[in-house]
Amino acid sequence: MKHLRILCLTAALIALAACQPQSKSPAGTAGESSSASPAVAAVDGAPIGRDLYEFYIKGVTGKTSSELSPQQRDQVLDNLIRAQLIAGEAIKEGLNKQTDTAQLLKMERLNVLEQALSQKYLAGKQPTDAELKAEYDAEVAKMPTEEYHARHILVATQPFAQKIIDRLKKGEKFEDLAKVESMDSSKTNGGDLGWFSLDHMVKPFADAVSSLKDGQYTTEPVQTQYGWHVIQLLGTRPVSPPAFDQVKQRLVQVVQAKKFREYTDGLLKQAQVTTFLDANTDTEGAGKSGAPAPAAAPTPAPAAGSAPSGSGG
């Protein structure tokens, strides 16, 4: 995990460095820092400032350079030198001007600035327990109250699915037919999909499951985008939402995201926005005032259990 953080931060440094205006030195774009920051190294004359060095250490380790061993400091400096050298070489070869790379650098810049503004705006706006409890109650109200345990046999055509049903009526075992005839990976378990809530399944499958009683199977094939199913309900059980304390930290993130969304909605109302894209035709045309109608911010409910796998949903 530690190595992953180092790689991610180094990649970000390379990307952000390439966003800077190019200097006389090809590598100069990779490590420019304020003149007040003394250099800890230089690559082809372009300095790597102490401020960047300390920022990198804090991002990777959460510490300052004084808390690291000499070997760790050498490793950090080597990482930064390599990052600056790589960025400089990429710029020298014109890679920062390639379409995909240029757009990726623009997006990286937008993401960094968005994060910075979000942190500044949300500073001192820690959600209250009342706000968290209200969010919890709203999410719990949207959660399913029941889980289903089912198995299925997935085949390619309706006539074949009907033949499976006919064989079940003659007494053949569901799990045996699933192991031999089903196209789904669940065939190795006799078609067993485990426990799931209906919102994790495609609608035709979910509707069929909810219409069955324990032990019953569908007497007509059920079609989804995956093919034709024969489904048997094995049981149901009530599902309880996770405890408030269990998801409290996640609720903090959700509430803060909503607060920042409301803030940016206000910025959008004050801005002079002209849209040229016709979303219906995906073509540019005459501009019109105003941004597109914003989609609702996603706020997924706290997970009460794992989603089933397989072609059923």
In the chain, the number of structural domains is 2
Nearest-angstrom CA–CA distance, 240 and 268: 39
Shared domain check, 9 and 69 = yes
**Based on the domain organization, do 80 and 147 belong to the same domain?**
no
Residue that is last in its domain, among 183, 206, 238: 238
Same domain membership, residue 219 and residue 151: yes
pTM tops 0.75: no
- Same domain assignment for residues 150 and 91: no
> Given 82, 99, 116, which residue is the final one in a domain?
99
Task: Look up tokens 């069929």; give the residue.
Answer: 208
Asked if the structure places residue 176 within a domain, the reply is yes
Tell whether 206 is covered by a domain: yes
| Extended beta strands in 39-120, E state | 39-43, 46-49
Element at 196 (helix H, strand E): strand 192-196
Last residue of a domain, one of 238, 273, 300: 238
Residues 174 and 234 in one domain: yes
Task: Specify if 150 maps to a domain.
Answer: yes
Asked if the structure places residue 106 within a domain, the reply is: no
> Are 272 and 189 in contact, with CB atoms under 8 Å apart?
no
Q: Is residue 271 part of a domain?
A: no
130 domain residue, yes or no: no
Residue 148 and residue 62 share a domain: no
Instruction: Copy the structure tokens of residue 8.
Output: 């991610």
CA torsion, ordered 180, 182, 185, 189, to nearest 10 deg: -60
Is the domain of 95 the same as that of 174? Answer: no
Q: Domain of 165?
A: 143-238
pLDDT of residue 118: 97
CATH of the domain at 194: 3.10.50.40
Same domain, residue pair 148 and 223: yes
Q: Are 31 and 84 in contact (CB under 8 A)?
A: yes
pLDDT by 10-residue block (mean), the chain, 313 residues: 48 49 42 68 93 94 94 95 95 94 96 96 95 96 95 98 98 97 97 96 97 97 98 96 96 97 96 91 83 58 37 44
* CB of 248 closer than 8 Å to CB of 256: no
Please list, in sequence order, all residues whose beta carbon lies within 8 angstroms of the beta carbon of residue 74, skipping any fewer than 6 positions away.
none
Does residue 220 share a domain with residue 148? yes
* Assigned domain for 195 exists: yes
- CA 11 – CA 26 distance, rounded (Å): 18
**66: in domain:** yes
Q: What is residue 295's predicted lDDT score, i.e. its pLDDT?
A: 58
**Which candidate, 150, 171, 170, places its Cα nearest to that of 230?**
150
Q: Can you say whether the dihedral through the CA atoms of 200, 205, 206, 212 is positive or negative?
A: negative
Q: 5: closest CA among 51, 61, 54, 48?
A: 61
Token pair 């979910």 is found at: 206
CA distance 108 to 286: 29
